[in-house]
Amino acid sequence: MIQQVIFAVVTIIAIYWAFRQFSQIRRNIFLAQKKEISGHQGERWKRVLLIAFGQKKMFRRWISAIMHLFIYLAFLITQIELIEILVDGFSGTHRFFASSLGGFYTFVISLIELLSVGAFIATFVFLARRNLLKIPRFRKQEMTWWPKLDANLILIGEIALIIGIFCMNGADTVLQELRPDVYHETGTFAVSGFFGPAVFGSMSADWLVGVERFGWWLHVLVVYAFLNYLPSSKHLHILLAFPNVYYSRVESRGKMENMPEIMNEVKSMMGLATEGEQEMGEEIPEFGAKDIFDLSWKNLLDAYTCTECGRCTDVCPANMTGKKLSPRKIVMDIRDRVEEVARTMKSEPEMKPEAYDDGKSLFDYISKEEIHACTTCNACVEACPVLIDPLDPILKLRRYEILTLSQGPADWMPMFNSLENSGSVWQVPDERGSWTKTVEQN
């Protein structure tokens, strides 16, 4: 009874605290501009099934994909065992589903164990890749300190979770023979059916009970710790990948988002404005984005979904040639800025997003050199396994710099002046369409 009470208290605290953190992340995402995303539901659900569930884009790199698949499947299937642990914890029973499911129960737990062995191997492979092998995309400037530690902490937690599973199942297998009145027959599990007697077979019943309970509680506490760690970790993509893929851009990647203010002004100058399209007023609006409030909520969802895998930076042609741009860093910087703003607003509840001003902006995180280096080739967008779009905020930052601040790289300015004067990117004395007059005369 005491164990049930302790379990209930720990569970309620863990779920409550996790709920508060996830609610804060939702509030953070909606600090940005509203953006209507609808239509193409069939295509969107297809993407969720193939890319979010099916890990389709991961398999462009087979070795890491297979290792990741073991961890991913083990994570998914282990939730079945977690459901039983929750039932047992609240009710005080032991392996609640074993007697009713019979052989199917043995199959499910055996599958979990086999996947856990694969995940155990994959975890050490990933630890080696991140800490021993000098893989360039894991050694970029943005991957120092916390991002590196974050990845290692999750991998260590994965090892602890697997240890808990095999301690629990292995000791339970031996106890089924020593105390059959309490530990029900479950059949022979694929791994612990042999691992348990080999490792724990010489222990006394009391020690075995301690090992079984240790494994059970270790499993529970690691899951609860992981649940509360997710909101501050890159592994939040485990949850956010699904909505992020669903709301990802369906239109052609080469199609740039239009700016209604400029379009309406041009129409007005050419006499093409309709009744519902207003001319630009005396006060010049701000174009593009200088801070998170000017981005869309999808941009911020992208930032929180980022897995920090670095595939975007790995294929970026600007980064390959030694330029400062790293698409992964852009996305991580946006997330860091959101967190900074959220902390300030949390300490000052009366502050409204539209009135927020701490004297900083995204340009304090992202240098102009970075956004100028982007070739807008969309390689980063194509490479992302969860359909994050680093290019969109880069373009919005550029638009703010050029259209609102009237600034930009020195070698870009002649092109802009030429476009404004003659409608051509080349500095030629004649208007762009002057050649048509010659054709008409002939």
Three-state secondary structure string covering the chain: CHHHHHHHHHHHHHHHHHHHHHHHHHHHHCCCECCCCCCCHHHHHHHHHHHHHCCHHHHHCHHHHHHHHHHHHHHHHHHHHHHHHHHHHHHCCCCCCHHHHCHHHHHHHHHHHHHHHHHHHHHHHHHHHHHCCCCHHHCCHHHCCHHHHHHHHHHHHHHHHHHHHHHHHHHHHHHHHHCCCCCCCCCCCCCHHHHHHHHHCCCCHHHHHHHHHHHHHHHHHHHHHHHHHHHHCHHHHHHHHHHHHHCCCCCCCCCCCCCHHHHHHHHHHCCCCCCCCCCCCCCCCCCCCCCHHHCEHHHHHHHHHCCCCCHHHHHCHHHHCCCCCCHHHHHHHHHHHHHHHHHHHHHCCCCCHHHCCCCCCHHHCCCHHHHHHCCCCCHHHHHCCCCCCCHHHHHHHHHHHHHHCCCCCCCCHHHHHHHHHHCCCCCCCCCCCCHHHHHHHC
pTM of the model: 0.88
Q: Taking 80 as the threshold, does the pLDDT of residue 425 lie above it? A: no
Mean pLDDT, residues 51-79 taken together = 90
Second CATH level (architecture) for the domain 288-419: Orthogonal Bundle (1.10)
pLDDT bin (cut points 50, 70, 90) of residue 111 is: very high
Query: What amino acid occupies position 303?
Result: A
Q: Taking 80 as the threshold, does the pLDDT of residue 380 lie above it? A: yes
Q: What are phi and psi of 67, to 5 degrees?
A: -60, -45
Q: Taking 70 as the threshold, does the pLDDT of residue 441 lie above it? A: no
Query: pLDDT by residue (tens digit) across 172-184?
Result: 999 998 888 888 8
Q: Taking 80 as the threshold, does the pLDDT of residue 277 lie above it? A: no
Q: Taking 80 as the threshold, does the pLDDT of residue 432 lie above it? A: no
Query: pLDDT by residue (tens digit) across 4-15?
Result: 999 999 999 999
429 vs 329, higher pLDDT: 329
CATH 1.10.1060 domain extents, the chain? 288-419
